[in-house]
Amino acid sequence: MSFGHSSDEAYTENAYDNHTVARTPELRAGIITSVILAFIVVLLRVYTRHFIVKRFGPDDYLVGAAMVCSIDGLVIGIMHVRALANNTGGLQLRTAF
C-alpha cells in the first residue's frame, strides 16, 4: 500500500519537515488569530459585566484566568512552530521539560 506516495518516494522525516516549514506562516497566523479573537471576546465580556451590569462575579475571574492560560498557550504554540521550522523539536522538548 502506498498511501498516496509513489513506490520510489519514501516517506521520510525530511518530507514531513519540508511540509511543516512551508506551512509555518499559516500555522502562526491561525494560532495568533484565534487567541486575538478570544481576547476581544473576553474584553467585551469584562466591559459588559463591569460597566453595564456592574456585577463582576467569580466566573469572570475564571474567564480571565483562562485567557491568561490561552496567551501562555499562544507562546508555547509559537515556540513549537518555530522549533518545527528549525528542525529542533527534540531540543525544545528537552529544554521545556
Give this prediction's pTM. Answer: 0.64
Q: How far apart are CA 24 and CA 52, in angstroms?
A: 41
- Non-local (6+) Cβ contacts of 55 within 8 A are 49
- Give the pLDDT confidence score for residue 34 in this predicted structure: 92
- Closest Cα to residue 81, out of 94, 92, 97, 70? 92
Block means of pLDDT (10 residues each) for the chain, 97 residues, are 47 49 78 93 95 93 94 87 71 56
